[in-house]
Structure 1
């Protein structure tokens, strides 16, 4: 971790104050308002060097003046210096790898940071160049203030003028991280390329997957976002519309390299360069780089359910009727007011990027046969509406010529943004990463409607559903079904555009042999509300500091880590894709122990869903609550349900300890049972699940309440951390941890059930170790491992008898014998060692044939006399060979002798009755 001195040297307090949300007074050198009390005039001053501050209102905190460490401690209420330093590391993306000594010199800045500082120092010199390109002073000043714009005058002493690398005067566009604001790269645009060997642009730092924005903070509240190729084009749009938020690609390759999910919920307008086709003879003859990149970008947006439109550039021509290439050229040609109007004119074509006008130059986005192209020109779209040309009327013009006027008619109250083919990975491939031999092919339809704004609505259809107008009417009105069907028929030609592979699984999953973080919107369910409880879930995001806060709060609210254990179990459930299994969990507590409060806090912290007992009344509801996800779900008060429901629930929990595929309904809809389940209640019926469940007990361990303003755990970031791990590495670490747990376990090597229980707790211990690595906390914090081993051994010890199905059967049989309902021959021997003499087959026959015991019989995992007898022999409960006795004047053979003392060792207590023997 960087030293305090290094942090003080690297961090500018004005920048830190902005990130902490402090409001500044008016004026370039104004102070900041206090975050802790109202002040009419700003009371926080930052010195000229930007390295220290003071609260002039006389704050009584010891940190109300000082360096960056004191500022973040004072504003956020942090009391630990180490935590404050860790937060600054996260905020500024400063690596923790090197351990700095107190007297170490500050770490050297990267080349990009060094160049950025130099360019920011002379930023005002860029004004003349940008004014010459039509950029307004308002936009220039705003970018300079955000430190994303500067000026470079450096020239190399080693490289001669006129050679590549000499440098010279250049506008500097400083690329910063969207969250941390750290400098990632500096792009230079040379004013005189000739002295730099005719090289116009040069980039220092990260190039791929990194975007430029004049001020990332403005993105959060923006409803509309423009995407252009260069920073100059971005500033040109801001000149035309100062409220606009614009992102520059910095290279067309970044279309494929960037994660565009941060634009969800925003209306995206794409305006890349209006490149003309390469001439014949060129290796890319006929291709248009700008428009073709825009097509890819449209596909990216549609896959993320982001509504996007292309700016119509067909009229971008100069006085000589020559095409204008980019936004900045348009700004200089027509001015900011007309440019703003031009940017509001979107392509009207049904297929984005495919004009309906004959003779369009360059490669076409998709080929339409003549009979389709003859109808294609009739359809026109707006952002969320569709028209068609129903007919044309002829009118006499001024010169006597006939003028044809199209008559537009309403077709649909929505816009079909995409119709694409989707290959969904099979369950086995999704859970294991194996090559996919059984992918399912569907068609994904994305539609933009007025009621949902820029968020596209997706529906997955099968072949026979594509031309079912009733299905389309679920999006909105369709006024002319026949014409609409013709339009869909044309859109079928675009099924290959945006065709993609997907995995129908929410959480950590495998797709094409790689681990991915899959959220609800990334899935393609045919019946999403039935197939997955998290079909619309996006995981909570945040910082590692917030992760540490959540872990600490859960560790402190109940003693001996009783509340932290469910949190670690919940987050570790996503390891199922790597380990192949994950245990369920049971929370035990007495009335008033805080169980319900803890579960609600767990729901809020990680975005988990608890299903009430009322919603689990049928097998189908149980099925839909645990399908297609490794994010945990909860079942409340399962013991209060009917025994039939309990038996079905337990059977499903047995199956989704690993994963199981089932299909339901006439259309055989697939359900992948995989979700770990949290069972809550005072009496959870889990006797047959003991080898597949862990537990925690809250009774008598209540501690202080968690704060109400506790942040959510950054689940998304945690899953991205897990996705970087290799399966072999995780399995090897699990083997090591399992050996450690077996060494600390009270289980003997002969008790297979106890060994499996130890393996379950080992998986949770592995989750804790990985969480410590992710959040940057020591593994021995709060003695979690000691409390986990104690809980494991108590669980193993208290359930030694319950793990054997024969015990449950004998418990029922002894109760029936004591109640006088067991009609089969049996005898009690009191001479010598007391024993019960009975046939095991008679016990099974009695339970199976008794109507009062029907539900118990249905819930038994063992229904065979052969297996029942074998388990009793292995447990050493049956004494010697079968014997023969006379009972009620009848000779009965093949009786098994069961010593009462041995039964008592398993918690089975008999009630002998006097039976007269002959």
Structure 2
């Protein structure tokens, strides 16, 4: 499709005005046009040629509106920018490009029906005005091309048969983001002609609702949710400031629509006031409308969206025969027709004041109750009254002795409203990470509260069983003026713990719940101490089109040569495969000063909503632990080498544990921490010798390229995780095994080097993530040479760390340094054994010296090997001991036996050396 600038160049505005049917005043080429919005005696719309600021444009001087050709189409015809551009293409014969043609072909049927409906939209006005809907509401719906009229009839069927059709108001359902038409709902003026069917839908029914104007709904701070589009227009007729309407298009949509667009809005639910189903019929005693409202209330509350129900207890009308009986008013439009817009507006602002939404405090409501309350609870229940963010209670009833009328005395109870108290079963760590059946779930209670300071957003807190009746816990939400009645109220609310009860997983990322892979975000978790237990406890993953993934990858491939920046990007994205693989390696980013490390990390933070913790925030073991808990989304530790040695040792110990996952508990409450996050270690010298078998790395020095563009989109992480959740675990594991064999076959390590084989397995995991990302983003697997560069980095890493991977090398390095410094007090000597110069020393003496030297205490604490037996076995396996038997020598006039002959030539291959003293 041509851009707006291209259309402005190709389309003459005078010709466009003529095609749009604008009336022009006499006067030749310089004459003005009459406004299409109102009757004007003198023309007020002018077309300006070569405007110094805007070029060729138009302006309606009566309203102040103006703009380009696209704006003029919207001004006259209504609709969205995309629809206006599409109309211009068709009206002026400008060809669409191929992708647009495919899009037109895919949704052509609905577009064709919608165009027919929009052509007769004024006939819909006649019908809806008969239902007391005002012109302003109809004008708004027509301007956004959401309302039309359809008079199609079947040529094969006769009148009176289902599917015949006939005159019908048409409600055009569009998506919020793009305005694309997804369905058209018909409401027939004469249902009998259509076989008694009142409504019919073309397109998708589930998952989409209708509103007259998505932009108005986005700006609104209150949204009234109703069942049908006619009811939504009835709400719009009231003209309530700051209020928009949304139609569910049937109560079955309660479980299908994504209500995230209602975040931070006060929702008012006003479904049909249905009578109980008659005895003898299925579901006798149930009321479909109110029960659907209860279900919607539960869904919205679980999403931390404040929702209240309209009080329909007094929605009744006098019968036409003049009897004293009353019949219920069924829906919003019925109320509008009987009582008028002003009274409907007041009715929509009259919200239920009962403590439990949908449960009246009297016995006047018919049908099935939402919750059963025992008589002793029900006798107290009616005393508690709520407003959206406030709670009161009736302390006593004053009786007028003359009239005998009782008046309640209402006292303040709490400065907030308890929206729900629900029981939550949280899966165990093992079940969350492996998908195994859960044998030990933990039960918590999730409390959602609305407070004045947070507006319409509910605040959620997770409480333990023994915290529910602790007023101090509730006092954290706001003031409580009468603790005793408040405790009685909480006791009643315990009866509702099953409402909204749910299973959950306390994990941010890709996790298992009830044996199924799910995408779990921060708000989906139920932590007792969220800010301590998970660094991403309030994270919502960035979302966007999957086409953005390729843009991001290409930008990272260009900014550093040899895919040096792409490796940490793929490692970060692949961390969520831990739920499928059972492990994920950590990463080190090595770079000299000025190599671009800090810039790259900041871009990763922006691209992936990734958190890099400063060294200052990692000074204690507890802070280290809280930074890696309950998530597979990676975190970063900056300049770990600059911390104290004891902090480094604790950090390395934690990293050993969360290569897979480990559960630990801290504090007097035994709060659970699931150590699982992959960690990126950045710095010039990352002290991770004992972690080499659990790391991958990238080196940035000397590879810097051009800067990434500032307008680079964020990676569509939500869509990526949903893609991973659709994978089959067995297929993923099989593919990983094949890639591990592939990496081993191209590794420079020998088959006997277990540490190098493990490193190759780590790089195979990153290569697996690259393969799935290529499939997700529609890229070639060899794009940018990533596999080749990753294998090069792997082999360089293996070669440079061949000595560092063995703990015996670290021990010998320390011992030889002590010998050079003349600090080694145990007997040793230099001599030839089997023709090779050797150092003869007892391995037990080496371990004793390191263990008992105060200057070497930190090194001893950091050693993974502390046993003489294991140390000796490692140096034997490394082949640096000469001879099969232990040696015996006289040293300083003492006969010393059980000496190991360590070849000085062989240890040079491991980067070890010692100064030979002649007196030895």
> Where in structure 2 are the equivalents of 1:903-914 lying within 5 Å?
903-914=907-918
Bigger Cα displacement from structure 2, 886-895 vs 501-510:
886-895
3-state secondary structure, aligned to 2:267: strand
Cα shift at 1:715: 1.7
Asked if residue 395 in structure 1 is aligned to residue 394 in structure 2, the reply is no
Equivalent runs, 1:360-759 vs 2, <5 Å: 360-395=365-400, 400-759=402-761
Q: 1:359 aligns with which of 351, 357, 364?
A: 364
> C-alpha displacement at 1:168, in angstroms?
1.5
2:845 maps to 1:871: no
Within the alignment, does 1:332 sit opposite 2:331 as a pair?
Answer: no
- Which residue in the other structure is 1:845 paired with? 848
2:880 matches 1:856: no
CA distance in 2, matches of 1:47, 1:256: 38
Shift in Å, 1:514: 1.3
Unaligned runs of 5+ in 2: 12-33, 38-44, 59-65, 75-83, 90-95, 320-325
SS of 2:456's equivalent in the other structure is coil
- Pairwise CA distance, 1:257: 2.2
Instruction: Give the Å deviation of 1:43.
Output: 5.9
Q: Could you list the per-position Cα deviations for residues 853-879 of structure 1 after superposition, in whole angstroms to 9, with x for gaps in the alignment? A: 111111111111221122212211122
CA–CA distance in structure 2, aligned partners of residues 697 and 740 of structure 1: 23
Measured against aligned partners, the alpha-carbon deviations of 1:789-812 in whole angstroms (never above 9, x if no partner) come to: 211111111111111111111111
| Conserved? CA contact 2:770–2:781, under 8 Å | yes
- Aligned mate of 1:891, from 879, 892, 895: 895
| Counterpart position of 2:288 | 289
Residue in 2 that maps onto 1:345:
350
- Contact (CA 8 Å) 1:275, 1:291: kept in 2 or not? yes
Alignment of 1:10-25 (within 5 A): none
Identify if the C-alpha distance between structure 1 residues 110 and 686 changes in structure 2 by more than 3 Å, giving closer, same or farther.
same
Contact 2:221 2:243 in 1 (8 A): no
Instruction: Provide the C-alpha distance between the structure 1 equivalents of 2:254 and 2:497, rounded to a whole number of angstroms.
Output: 21
Change (3 A) 1:308 1:746: same
Residue in 2 aligned with 1:99?
none
- Residue-by-residue CA offset, 1:309-331 (whole Å, 9 max, x unaligned): 11111121123332111111111
State the match for 2:906 in structure 1: 902
SS at match of 2:589: strand
- Partner of 1:16 in structure 2? none
Match of 1:60 in 2: none
* Worse-matched range after superposition: 776-785 or 614-623: 776-785
Q: Following TM superposition, by how much is the alpha carbon of 1:253 offset from its aligned partner in structure 2, in angstroms?
A: 1.9
Of residues 337-346 and 780-789 in structure 1, the stretch that sits farther from structure 2 once superposed is 780-789
SS at match of 1:663: strand
Distance 1:717 1:266 in 2: 26
Secondary structure, counterpart of 2:365 in structure 1: coil
Q: 2: distance between equivalents of 1:350 and 1:167?
A: 46
| TM-aligned CA distance change 1:717 to 1:443, over 3 Å | same
Cross-structure match for 1:244: 243
Query: Which residue of the partner structure matches residue 212 of structure 1?
Result: 210
Residues 725-748 of structure 1 show CA distances to partners (whole Å, capped at 9, x for unaligned) of 222232233233333333332223
Cα shift at 1:113: 4.0
8 Å Cα contact 2:313-2:365 kept in structure 1: no
Distance of aligned partners of 1:199 and 1:33 in 2 relative to their CA distance in 1, 3 Å threshold: farther
Measured in 2, the distance between the counterparts of 1:869 and 1:612 equals 40
Distance 2:818 2:230 in 1: 87
Aligned length: 854
CA displacement at 1:70 relative to structure 2: 13
Q: Does 1:833 align with 2:831?
A: no
TM-score w.r.t. length of structure 1? 0.89
Residue 280 to residue 32, structure 1, CA distance change in 2 (3 Å) = farther
- Closer, same or farther: CA 221–568 of 1 in aligned 2, 3 Å: farther
Distance 1:458 1:782, change over 3 A: same
Check the 8 A contact 2:361/2:381 in 1, yes or no. yes
Tell me the residue number matched to 1:117. Answer: 115
Give how far 1:458 is off: 1.0
The equivalent of 1:22 in structure 2 is none
Shift of 1:32: 13
Q: Which residue of 1 aligns with 2:800?
A: 798
Tell whether the 8 Å contact from 1:32 to 1:44 is kept in structure 2 after alignment.
Answer: no
The residue that corresponds to 1:74 in the other structure is none
Whether the 8 Å CA contact 2:162–2:194 is kept in 1: the answer is: yes
Contiguous gaps of at least 5 residues in structure 1: 14-24, 51-65, 72-83, 96-105
> Residue by residue, what CA displacement relative to the aligned partner does 1:704-756 show, whole Å, maximum 9, x if unpaired?
22233333222222222222222223223323333333333222322221122
The separation in 1 between residues aligned to 2:767 and 2:546, in whole angstroms, is 20
Aligned counterparts of 1:287 and 1:31: Cα–Cα separation in 2: 62
- In the TM superposition, what is the alpha-carbon distance from 1:111 to its structure 2 partner? 4.2
**Structure 1 residues 34 and 903, CA, compared in 2 at 3 Å: closer, same or farther?**
farther
Distance 1:890 1:38, change over 3 A: farther
Report the equivalent of 1:307. Answer: 306
Instruction: Give 3-state SS (helix, strand or coil) of 1:516's partner.
Output: strand
Structure 1 contact 572–764 (Cα < 8 Å) conserved: yes
